[in-house]
């Protein structure tokens, strides 16, 4: 496994973790307070003012990352044991658009109902680009549809082969970076694509025009704003990339296309964005004394709606010296 961390104030602040597929033993997806989040509408982006109690209820349903890790079990043991010490070699990232944004669905074979979405989600995508974990241990990114709790890939019902999947904004497919024009409609929080100041009159006008006629006209209005010169936004993105031989965890600031090019440059063939802004983090088992964060956003929010834990082969060691990423990886 390779870990690359850049922390140069004012220049770069990013993370890349490359996990060979031969090192990965399992991948687990966990949603906090799943039923509660499904009963709520998420954090609405297309309204000026959402009911504050509603927004608070969504945020209250989220849990600190460590709580997720205490609830995720591997071989019968929680990732974080009773004494707070990791019981396995695990690296965790968030999928924190789950439960917050329209379009961000999920499916879990061991849950009921299996299909997850927030109340009021239009559920109108022709297909969903999903980070997908199969029962045979394969991690992939697939264009899926969902019908009566079934998972459909093209003309094939693959329900019985899937353990879990969750939507991610597609940024790299088949080795090619996706065009923003093709995927802009998947960013229900359009601020991750376009830069406008909603606290100013002009920014509010731009936002109003984009969300006018939501959801039916959302993609068309977002494209119109893009073509009429609304500036592009540079956000911190939490991305997962896949190749035949490795999984890539990347957290880096840039445009949507730049994130795709950086995953491509790292060696990924397919890639998605899981969350943005203050949400990205990467937790690992080895930081002294009992696991901790390799990377967080500068304005990191500690409560998460969903977490993905990548479990690695080998015996866990938690008594490693502090201060050296390279040594602890070896």
Mean pLDDT lowest among 129-133, 154-158, 170-174, 285-289: 285-289
Task: Check pLDDT > 50 for residue 330.
Answer: no
Residue 289 confidence (pLDDT) = 74
Residue 316 confidence (pLDDT) = 85
Q: CA 310 → CA 29, 113, 181, 208, 287, distances in Å?
A: 9, 24, 32, 40, 16
Task: Check pLDDT > 90 for residue 61.
Answer: yes
Do residues 173 and 260 lie in contact, with contact meaning Cβ atoms separated by under 8 Å? no
Residue 324 confidence (pLDDT) = 52
The rounded mean pLDDT for the chain is 94
316 Cβ contact partners less than 8 Å away, ≥ 6 residues apart: 86, 87, 88, 89, 285
Tokens for 12? 């770069």
Task: Check pLDDT > 70 for residue 328.
Answer: no
124 Cβ contact partners less than 8 Å away, ≥ 6 residues apart: 215
CA distance 198 to 203: 4
Tell me the pLDDT tens digit for each residue of 66-94.
999 999 999 999 999 988 899 999 999 99
CA distance 255 to 187: 13
Task: Check pLDDT > 80 for residue 321.
Answer: no
Comparison of pLDDT for 329 and 218, the residue scoring more: 218
Tell me the pLDDT tens digit for each residue of 112-121.
999 999 999 9
pLDDT band at 327 (very low <50, low <70, confident <90, very high): very low
CA distance 103 to 110: 22
Residue 318 confidence (pLDDT) = 57
Q: Which one, of 107, 100, 256, lies nearest residue 188 by Cα? A: 100
Tell me the pLDDT tens digit for each residue of 137-171.
999 999 999 998 999 999 999 999 999 999 999 99
Task: Check pLDDT > 80 for residue 40.
Answer: yes
Burial class (CB in 10 A: 0-12, 13-18, 19+), 254: middle
CA distance 83 to 131: 32
pTM of the entire predicted model: 0.95
Tell me the pLDDT tens digit for each residue of 233-281.
999 999 999 999 999 999 999 999 999 999 999 999 999 999 999 999 9
Do residues 151 and 107 lie in contact, with contact meaning Cβ atoms separated by under 8 Å? yes
């Amino acid at each position: 496994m390779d870990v690359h961390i850049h922390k140069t104030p004012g220049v770069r602040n990013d993370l890349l973790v490359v996990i060979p597929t031969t090192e990965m033993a399992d991948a687990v997806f966990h949603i906090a307070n799943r039923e509660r989040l499904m009963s709520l509408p998420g954090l609405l982006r297309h309204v000026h003012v959402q009911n504050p109690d509603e927004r608070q209820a969504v945020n209250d349903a989220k849990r600190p990352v460590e709580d997720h890790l205490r609830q995720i079990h591997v071989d019968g043991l929680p990732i974080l044991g009773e004494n707070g010490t990791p019981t396995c070699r695990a690296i965790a990232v968030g999928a924190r658009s789950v439960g917050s944004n329209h379009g961000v669905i999920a499916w879990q074979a061991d849950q009921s109902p299996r299909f997850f979405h927030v109340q009021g989600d239009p559920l109108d995508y022709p297909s969903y680009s999903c980070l997908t974990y199969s029962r045979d241990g394969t991690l992939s990114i697939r264009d899926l549809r969902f019908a009566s709790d079934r998972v459909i890939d093209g003309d094939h019902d693959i329900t019985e082969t899937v353990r879990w999947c969750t939507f991610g904004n597609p940024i790299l497919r088949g080795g090619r970076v996706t065009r923003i024009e093709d995927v802009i409609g998947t960013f229900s929080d359009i601020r991750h694509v376009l830069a406008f100041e909603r606290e100013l009159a002009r920014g509010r006008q731009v936002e109003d025009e984009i969300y006018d006629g939501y959801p039916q006209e959302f993609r068309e209005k977002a494209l119109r704003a893009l073509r009429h010169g609304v500036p592009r936004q540079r956000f911190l993105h939490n991305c997962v990339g896949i190749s035949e031989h490795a999984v890539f965890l990347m957290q880096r600031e840039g445009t949507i296309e730049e994130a795709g090019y950086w995953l491509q440059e790292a060696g990924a063939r397919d890639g998605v964005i899981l969350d943005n802004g203050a949400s990205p983090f990467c937790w690992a088992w080895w930081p002294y004394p009992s696991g901790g964060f390799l990377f967080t956003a500068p304005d990191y929010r500690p409560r998460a709606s969903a977490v993905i834990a990548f479990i690695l082969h080998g015996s866990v060691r938690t008594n490693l010296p502090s201060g050296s990423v390279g040594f602890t990886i070896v």
